[in-house]
């Protein structure tokens, strides 16, 4: 994963296609079985197709959305090769026609299985593949499927595997989303701007269903906190700060909902314990990914660490306060005009470390709840 380290959201139900909302089943390529990677022909469009090999993290997948938008606007059908973990997220991206199951664990070579998947893809009329991860393994399936043009950065010495190679210019393209979007252009060509903002779909009906399933009342004054960050503690605002902020908001009749992965449940419980005004709803580890999307979409605003769910909130066009510690708001900012980024910009940050190498975590400990509350007040006044 890139240094952005985005958060995953826990699920109490399977992410296989049987559990994806019916509206989202337009993506027929999701495999429901552990060993099956069948590619089904989309009945509406048999034109030359484009395949995008997606990153495996929620935030990085959303940073790829501007590329998907550009490819879709160019007119050719866009399919994606994606892990089951992010497949539910992609069902909320209307630009994607099919999702093809990529069942391999992180770091797993599984060469024989990749060969079988490539054989199935070989007959799907793909003319071009965009390989977004930089690993050698991620480029194997398009190469073995003999897709004529394979676009990406050289990455892990992928000469031959990638035959349309782009040179990364970190100065010209400091944002991850810009680097992905650049792949839609010929190598060396300028990146058209402005960049399309990532967008996810969430209907009122889906939001109502998620709230009902999670026993949450429908209110216009619900605020979502996302206190986790899968990458590590150096990206997590302290639980005591979240609790102090929750107390202030609840004194003004706001309802607080905590969303995150099962790993975040302990942090969520600590926040609830430290709150003095009332008890937030701790849903960390209790939602599916699509439920998390719909609850965030139904909120009035969100407060998030730099995580995958932060990017979800931005893609849902929700007002957002984004908190940065060890990571960089230049590299992976929330791509939304409704986002307010808070960072102390200390000399030692961004360090991109999972844990504070100096042991003090001043970049987040020093980010006072009052300052975050003032940013929230600015969002409220603009809603």
Give the number of other CB atoms < 10 A from CB of residue 331.
20
Indicate the pLDDT class of residue 8, thresholds 50, 70 and 90. very low
What's the rounded mean pLDDT across residues 47-69? 94
Average pLDDT, the chain: 88
List Cβ neighbours of 135 (8 Å cut-off, separation of 6 or more). 155, 156
- Per DSSP, 70 falls in state H
Domain coordinates of the chain in residue numbers?
Answer: 25-182, 204-382
- pLDDT over 80 at 2, yes or no: no
Query: Among candidates 329, 346, 352, 330, which has minimal Cα distance to 170?
Result: 330
Q: How many residues does the chain have?
A: 383
pLDDT tens digits along 188-224 = 999 999 999 999 999 999 999 999 999 999 999 999 9
SS3 100: strand
User: Which listed CATH number (3.40.50.300, 3.40.640.10, 3.40.50.2000, 3.40.50.620) goes with 204-382?
Assistant: 3.40.50.2000
pLDDT tens digits along 140-162 = 999 999 999 999 998 888 999 99
Structure tokens that stand for 5 in this block: 């380290």
Indicate the pLDDT class of residue 274, thresholds 50, 70 and 90. very high
pLDDT tens digits along 98-113 = 999 999 888 889 999 9
The interaxial angle of helices 369-382 and 239-250, nearest 10 deg, is: 40
Q: Do 131 and 152 contact (CB within 8 A), yes or no?
A: yes
pLDDT tens digits along 9-57 = 333 333 333 333 334 334 433 333 333 333 333 444 556 789 999 999 9
Q: Do 325 and 351 contact (CB within 8 A), yes or no?
A: no
For residue 358, what pLDDT is reported?
Answer: 92
Structure tokens that stand for 96 in this block: 């994607």
Give percent above pLDDT 70 in the chain.
Answer: 87
Torsion of CA 361, 296, 288, 267, to 10 degrees: 30
Give the number of other CB atoms < 10 A from CB of residue 132.
26
Structure tokens that stand for 283 in this block: 């849903």
Q: Is 135 exposed, middle or buried (0-12, 13-18, 19+ CB in 10 A)?
A: middle
- pLDDT over 70 at 316, yes or no: yes
For residue 139, what pLDDT is reported?
Answer: 96
User: Residue 130 and residue 139: Cα distance in Å, rounded?
Assistant: 9
Indicate the pLDDT class of residue 383, thresholds 50, 70 and 90. low
The answer for 318, left when phi > 0, alpha when psi is -120 to 50, beta otherwise, is: beta
DSSP-derived secondary structure for 161-221: TBSEEEPP-TTT--SHHHHHHHTTSPTTPPPPSSPPPP-----HHHHHHHHHHTT----TT
Strands (E), 54-105: 78-82, 98-101
Indicate the pLDDT class of residue 329, thresholds 50, 70 and 90. very high
Q: Do 54 and 61 contact (CB within 8 A), yes or no?
A: yes
Structure tokens that stand for 14 in this block: 């399977």
- Which secondary structure element, helix H or strand E, spans residue 60, and what is its range? helix 58-63
Q: Do 163 and 137 contact (CB within 8 A), yes or no?
A: no
Q: Please give the CATH superfamily to which domain 25-182 belongs.
A: Glycogen Phosphorylase B; (3.40.50.2000)
SS3 314: helix
What's the rounded mean pLDDT across residues 297-324? 97
List residues bridging with 226 in a β-sheet: 304
For residue 270, what pLDDT is reported?
Answer: 97
Q: Parallel, antiparallel, or unpaired for β 301-305 and 320-324?
A: parallel
Q: Do 257 and 280 contact (CB within 8 A), yes or no?
A: yes
Query: Among candidates 156, 146, 179, which has minimal Cα distance to 51?
Result: 146
Q: Do 309 and 298 contact (CB within 8 A), yes or no?
A: no
The residue written with tokens 């929750």 in the block is: 246
End-to-end CA distance of the chain: 34
- Examine domains 25-182 and 204-382 and report if their fold is the same: yes
């Amino acid at each position: 994963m890139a240094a952005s380290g985005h958060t995953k959201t826990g699920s109490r139900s399977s992410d296989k296609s049987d559990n994806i909302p019916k509206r989202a089943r337009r993506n027929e390529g999701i495999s429901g079985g552990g060993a099956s990677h069948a590619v089904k022909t989309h009945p509406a469009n048999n034109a030359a197709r484009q395949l995008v090999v997606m990153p495996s993290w929620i935030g990085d997948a959303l940073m790829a959305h501007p590329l998907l938008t550009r490819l879709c606007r160019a007119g050719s059908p866009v399919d994606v090769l994606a892990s089951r973990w992010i497949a539910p997220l992609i069902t909320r991206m209307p630009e994607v026609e099919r999702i093809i199951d990529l069942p391999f664990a992180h770091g797993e070579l599984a060469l024989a299985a990749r060969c079988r998947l490539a054989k199935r893809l070989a007959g799907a009329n793909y003319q071009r593949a965009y390989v977004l991860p930089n690993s050698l393994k991620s480029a194997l399936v398009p190469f073995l499927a003999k897709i004529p043009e394979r676009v990406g950065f050289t990455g892990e010495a992928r000469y031959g595997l990638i035959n349309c190679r782009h040179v990364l210019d970190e100065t010209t393209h400091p944002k991850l989303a810009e680097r992905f979007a650049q792949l839609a252009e010929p190598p060396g060509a300028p990146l058209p701007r402005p960049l399309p903002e990532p967008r996810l779909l969430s209907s009122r009906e889906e939001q109502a269903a998620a709230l009902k399933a999670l026993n949450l009342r429908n209110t216009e004054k619900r605020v979502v906190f996302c206190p986790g960050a899968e990458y590590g503690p150096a990206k997590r605002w302290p639980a005591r700060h979240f609790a102090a902020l929750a107390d202030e908001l609840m004194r003004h009749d706001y309802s607080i909902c905590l969303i995150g992965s099962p790993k975040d449940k302990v942090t969520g419980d600590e926040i609830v314990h430290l709150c003095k005004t009332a008890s937030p709803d701790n849903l960390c580890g209790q939602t599916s990914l699509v439920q998390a999307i719909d609850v965030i979409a139904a909120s009035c605003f969100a407060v998030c660490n730099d995580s995958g769910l932060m990017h979800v909130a931005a893609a849902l066009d929700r007002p957002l306060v984004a908190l940065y510690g060890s990571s960089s708001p230049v590299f992976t900012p929330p791509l939304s005009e409704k986002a307010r980024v808070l960072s102390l910009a200390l000399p030692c940050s961004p360090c991109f470390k999972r844990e504070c190498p100096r042991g003090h975590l001043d970049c987040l400990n020093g980010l006072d709840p009052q300052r975050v509350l003032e940013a929230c007040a600015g969002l409220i006044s603009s809603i």
